[in-house]
Structure 1
Amino acid sequence: MLSRFRLTLQRCVHTREKGKPLMLNPRTNKGMAFTLLERQMLGLQGLLPPKIETQDIQALRFHKNMAKMSDPLQKYIYLMGIQERNEKLFYRVLQDDIERLLPVVYTPTVGLACTQYGHIFRRPKGLFISISDRGHIRSVVNNWPENDVKAVVVTDGERILGLGDLGVYGMGIPVGKLCLYTACAGIHPHKCLPVCIDVGTDNTSLLKDPFYMGLYQKRDRSPAYDDLIDEFMEAITDRYGQNTLIQFEDFGNHNAFRFLRKYREKYCTFNDDIQGTAAVALAGLLAAQKATGKPIAEHKVLFLGAGEVLQGGDRVPKWGCFPPLSTPQPPSPPHNPPQAALGIANLIVMAMVENGVPVEDARRRIWMYDKHGLVRQGREEKVDSNQEPFAHPAPDSIPHSFEEAVTLLKPSAIIGVAGAGRLFTPSVLQKMAAINDRPIIFALSNPTAKAECTAEEAYTLTEGRCLFASGSPFDVVTLPDGRSFKAGQGNNAYIFPGVALAVILSSVRHISDRVFLEAAKALSEQLSPPDLAQGRLYPPLSHIREVSVCIAVRVMEFLYANGMAFHYPEPPEKEPYVRSKVWTSQYDSFVPDVYQWPRNAPS
């Protein structure tokens, strides 16, 4: 009887590889989890120790080894080494402990790994395209072995987190982002392609580094650069289709917005630094409504970092108007602001308009403060065209510091995206607490050293009344009165994997900003009352797979309702459909079920 057969839940897949090549391929390698029959039939007998392990034991070994490490870079090397040897195990351990491991594979450790990329290099991941490849990029793209790529993350390495121009070392960012596509949203890893565009670097240290792996030349800013990007976009869509998702990541400030404007109506593309950051910040503001009872339409928001576009050698902001800190720190280049500040501001305006506020009134509720001071009409320093909607008539008195701007404008929320270190000074935080019962303080710059303030500073100096979010993770803060707060991390990983999953499954051709508005609303709705009571503005990262699925369902419903989806027939029930498409890290079987049946089973 069939009921007496030992059935397996493993999916059976066919492989042409046998023996050692099967074990050396990270996509097929299972380590000591190969069964006895697999070892016998696939030429593995004797090539492995006799013990047959479960994936659970393999994961336990990883976590015990990881617990012995304290250096973040060593953790990164060890974790990414697992990816190079056993892909399924890598994603299994990442999902097991995403809250602890996400800061290793992504912000903030990935920034450190990028600065050391040539020194820790083991095996190439992704596609490297250089300015020398102009004219035959399609042939380079053809060298990628996968024929069904659905998502591409591309960088040119000019603005890596808050670290500046890292050139080809920036490849760590697309690799890390696509790891989260899979770990957080279940997008098949074989359908993901990381790309680094190498046009040189203006980082003189790298040009002297014998381990640097890119072109030893200054960054090409000629028309040839634009031609290269055009050719790249055409090559990707020629091979993989017009619906291929292309995510721009960590491009220079002067290129990010113009590429978004240039390509958004022609390709299926978005810029995570602009739109992903905007969605996660807006989600935090929407979540704060639950604590304050104040609708977003009534907030006044002041940004630190306003979207100034730096060119050439003008890399150091003149933040001299800020009082010194107890531990003086040199000012750092504001690498984050242009994309983050303006993206967040525009999405906040969209949310206010949706709540009945005229667009001009919504814009008037948003102010920006950059390296030259308050962004306003008629100031001596040039206001970039992207900033103009938020350049308002000058107030009665001109503030000469960010602290004075807080005093004068009385914002309900301050959002830091300057990437210039501890500029939410103690007096700024105390003033926010004096002006508001529940001040909203978002220190979103990455990595941790670039944050505008720490969680401890924010909670302590506002007596635990602030609603705080950060770009990098912070530990739980316990105040002298015993109250504990867990800061919400405004991590883009809450947004882009779920959005990407919905876009891929819906066969979207163009991605509207309204997609990110829907994603922000969906994310804020995942926050539970107990989460809010802990001080969180985002659900725990341990729930991120479920959060991503919920965002994907919400975005898919929006896309189909508004005629933006081109996958037919439309799934009648979106949630079961999305869940059915989620990739799993469970090992596949390489032996058909028939070979698993007991030999004495009746015929």
Structure 2
Amino acid sequence: MALSRKVLTPTRLAVECSDRNLLQICKHVKRFTHLDLYSEILHNNTDALMNSRYNKGLSFTMRERQLLSIHGLMPCSIRPIEEQVEVAKLNFMARHDPLGQYTYLMSLRQLHERVFFRFIREHTELTLPIMYTPTVGSAVTLFSTVYRSGMGMYVTIYDRGHIFDVLKNWRVPNVRGVCVTDGGRILGLGDMGANGMGIVLGKLFLYTALGGVPPNLLLPITLDVGTDNKMLLEDPHYVGARLGRIKGAEYDDFVEEFMQAVAKCFGDDTLIHFEDFATPNAYKFLRKYQHKYSYFNDDIQGTSAIGLAGFLAAERLLKYKLEDQVFLFVGAGSAAIGIANLLVRELRSRGLSKEKACSNIYVVEMYGLLTTKSKGLNEDTCRYAKDIEPIVDLEEVVDKLKPAILLAATGTAGVISEKVLRLMAQHNERPVVFALSNPTSNAECTAEQAFQHTEGRVIFSSGSPFPPVVVNGKRFTTGQANNCLAFPGIALGALSMRARHLPDEIYLKVAHVLANYPSEESLKTGNLYPLISEVNDLSFSVAMSVADFLDKNNLSNVHPMPKDICKFMHNYMYRLSYGPSLPNTWKYPPFKRISRPKKS
């Protein structure tokens, strides 16, 4: 058999040649490369260092290094994972720019998976503002310049008719959860096109770091249907398709093909998390897919659980009933209306009719208070339109309605003015105010403004973190109404139980778990939400409530149902410590050799 130089690598020779030529091949290869083919086949494991999932860095034992043929590729010291996390923290803290810290963490994720997730879990308060809001907004804006390969999948409008073929190219076959965006409305930044990948990466990182979902089960996806953002289209470094955003029937058919392809490729109970779709599309797809797939929209459903949890916690703190209060929502987007809708569901569970539940809920959008005379009403907003004269000015609305609770989700800084805050304090002993927009620069008011203009009497919560505020010598802290308190636990519960679909009642249960989690002492500080430092234990409590609902309502594809769901879920979760890198071995007894009788 002739052997050409193009097939001289031992692995390729082993594949292309028959067993009877193996010895000849080994001798031939040694002549040119001085390699032992058997040694390479048995020992060479480049995944040990090149694959982030398996790389243990300096935690490899000497035996592992020798048997995996990676001995000598690193210093001889052994460094446990706890020490690696401390070194990661030193590197993180050495970068004083938040975006520099973000890019360091992205590099760490590609090199050392477990160190990355353990570092975030053990230092959540330190890393959350970097991996999530507010820094993720900067990361999305600059995503095309910080892009690294292997960061999720891109399905473009040019892939119509072949989306299933694209999804099959993902390197991990057992995907159980997908987080997808079309970049239509990222945070308060607007249309960010293919740069939206930054937000779905951040969501799935927190699935694992805070919820314990194994990262190999997760797939971030961007649907690149173009963008109407002129700055991106004119940016020479933009990584997305350079065309105007596709709309109408063509867009809807593309999303429909995507949903069917995910179910076909990964299973019909794969969790599909929609993230940062423009409001009309978000509601359209929620209505279309919620009861057809294992579907979750964090902007609507996750945010609604967080918002309602704040209302329920305020009810605990102030000892009043929600059904007796006036609510004013500023903004008519997916976040505000989603919270209002879940509030109605909560009030109806207390015995109120649909009309009565909606009667004390008012909505202000860009043209003023929603009334029956307002233009552009749709099925998501018409229930909150009141038969009264229109009022354009927010300050006038607050003065007239005297709401006990004001929640703003507009993406516009300064919407909650000094006068609005003073009016809230004038009409309420303890006014409750939420400024939910992210990033911090888009918050409707700052914590300092909220406390100063209400004489420190406000109960204030924001979507992004604010530092403590001192007013008249008294220190006030802001409650963080952050979706990360909810969605990692929702994901863990849905994925571990293989949910067929996720009805709205689940988010009611999640809201009550969140509202009841803070201790009475913590609640008395004015913080309506669990502390970020508690989010790991909280996520498991949320997951258990989701799993319990799915079990009792026969919505789980786990058969047979485990007797101990708590233990089952613990076993499902990602391990933040290293296991052995070598397969288990065991002894066999010696076998007697039986000689064949000689032929006579």
Q: TM-score, normalised by structure 2?
A: 0.89
Matched, 1:564 2:558: no
Match in the other structure for 2:222: 196
Higher relative contact order by CA 8 Å / sep ≥ 6: 1 or 2? 1
Deviates more, 1:530-539 or 1:230-239: 530-539
Tell me the amino acid that sits aligned with residue 125 of structure 1. Answer: M
Q: Are the aligned partners of 2:211 and 2:488 in contact in 1 as well (CA < 8 Å)?
A: yes
Whole-angstrom distance in 2 between the partners of 1:456 and 1:126: 39
Match in the other structure for 1:346: 341
Match in the other structure for 1:304: 330
CA distance 1:17–1:268, change in 2 (3 Å): farther
Match in the other structure for 2:136: 110
Point out where structure 2 has 5 or more consecutive residues left out of the alignment. Answer: 1-40, 587-600
Indicate the RMSD between aligned Cα atoms, in angstroms.
1.6
Q: Are the aligned partners of 1:468 and 1:535 in contact in 2 as well (CA < 8 Å)?
A: yes
User: For 2:263, what is the secondary structure of its paired residue?
Assistant: helix
Match in the other structure for 1:581: 572
User: For 1:230, what is the secondary structure of its paired residue?
Assistant: helix
Matched, 1:90 2:116: yes
Tell me the amino acid that sits aligned with residue 394 of structure 2. Answer: F
Match in the other structure for 2:19: none
- C-alpha offsets along residues 374-395 of structure 1, whole Å, 9 cap, x if unaligned? 001123x332331100001115
Tell me the amino acid that sits aligned with residue 207 of structure 2. Answer: Y
Residue 379 of structure 2 is aligned with which of 368, 375, 385?
Answer: 385
Match in the other structure for 1:67: 93
Q: Are the aligned partners of 1:499 and 1:555 in contact in 2 as well (CA < 8 Å)?
A: yes
Residue 413 of structure 1 is aligned with which of 394, 398, 405?
Answer: 405
Deviation at 1:593, TM superposition (A): 6.5
Whole-angstrom distance in 2 between the partners of 1:575 and 1:297: 35
Q: Are the aligned partners of 1:138 and 1:236 in contact in 2 as well (CA < 8 Å)?
A: yes
Q: Are the aligned partners of 2:329 and 2:407 in contact in 1 as well (CA < 8 Å)?
A: yes
Matched, 1:138 2:132: no
Q: Are the aligned partners of 1:273 and 1:340 in contact in 2 as well (CA < 8 Å)?
A: yes
Tell me the amino acid that sits aligned with residue 378 of structure 2. Answer: D
Whole-angstrom distance in 2 between the partners of 1:71 and 1:259: 38
Deviation at 1:16, TM superposition (A): 8.3
Residue 370 of structure 1 is aligned with which of 331, 345, 365?
Answer: 365
Deviation at 1:20, TM superposition (A): 4.3
User: For 1:270, what is the secondary structure of its paired residue?
Assistant: strand
- Show the 5 A alignment for 1:432-447: 432-447=424-439
User: For 1:441, what is the secondary structure of its paired residue?
Assistant: strand
Higher CA-based Rg: 2
Tell me the amino acid that sits aligned with residue 472 of structure 1. Answer: S
Match in the other structure for 2:493: 502
Deviation at 1:65, TM superposition (A): 2.0
Tell me the amino acid that sits aligned with residue 365 of structure 2. Answer: D
Q: Are the aligned partners of 1:369 and 1:402 in contact in 2 as well (CA < 8 Å)?
A: yes
Deviation at 1:122, TM superposition (A): 2.4
Q: Are the aligned partners of 2:304 and 2:335 in contact in 1 as well (CA < 8 Å)?
A: yes
User: For 2:573, what is the secondary structure of its paired residue?
Assistant: coil
Deviation at 1:592, TM superposition (A): 5.1
Deviation at 1:530, TM superposition (A): 2.5
Deviation at 1:507, TM superposition (A): 2.0
Whole-angstrom distance in 1 between the partners of 2:464 and 2:524: 21
Point out where structure 1 has 5 or more consecutive residues left out of the alignment. Answer: 1-14, 307-337, 596-603
User: For 1:437, what is the secondary structure of its paired residue?
Assistant: coil
Whole-angstrom distance in 2 between the partners of 1:408 and 1:16: 79
Tell me the amino acid that sits aligned with residue 390 of structure 1. Answer: Y
Residue 75 of structure 2 is aligned with which of 49, 60, 82?
Answer: 49
Whole-angstrom distance in 2 between the partners of 1:201 and 1:457: 36
Deviates more, 1:505-514 or 1:413-422: 505-514
Deviation at 1:411, TM superposition (A): 0.5
- C-alpha offsets along residues 38-77 of structure 1, whole Å, 9 cap, x if unaligned? 1111111110011111111111111122222221111110
- C-alpha offsets along residues 193-252 of structure 1, whole Å, 9 cap, x if unaligned? 000000111000111111100111111114221111111111110011111000100011
Deviation at 1:435, TM superposition (A): 0.7
Tell me the amino acid that sits aligned with residue 496 of structure 1. Answer: F
Whole-angstrom distance in 2 between the partners of 1:392 and 1:400: 14
Q: Are the aligned partners of 1:20 and 1:47 in contact in 2 as well (CA < 8 Å)?
A: no
User: For 1:247, what is the secondary structure of its paired residue?
Assistant: strand
- C-alpha offsets along residues 558-602 of structure 1, whole Å, 9 cap, x if unaligned? 22222322322223333233222221211121135769xxxxxxx
Match in the other structure for 2:535: 544
CA distance 1:16–1:111, change in 2 (3 Å): farther
Q: Are the aligned partners of 1:413 and 1:440 in contact in 2 as well (CA < 8 Å)?
A: yes
Q: How many residues align?
A: 546
Match in the other structure for 2:596: none
User: For 1:175, what is the secondary structure of its paired residue?
Assistant: helix
Match in the other structure for 1:458: 450
Matched, 1:535 2:526: yes
Match in the other structure for 1:448: 440
Whole-angstrom distance in 2 between the partners of 1:527 and 1:571: 30
Matched, 1:247 2:242: no
Give the share of equivalent positions with the same residue, in percent: 40
Q: Are the aligned partners of 2:298 and 2:487 in contact in 1 as well (CA < 8 Å)?
A: yes
Matched, 1:487 2:478: yes
- C-alpha offsets along residues 75-96 of structure 1, whole Å, 9 cap, x if unaligned? 1101111001110000010001
Matched, 1:524 2:518: no
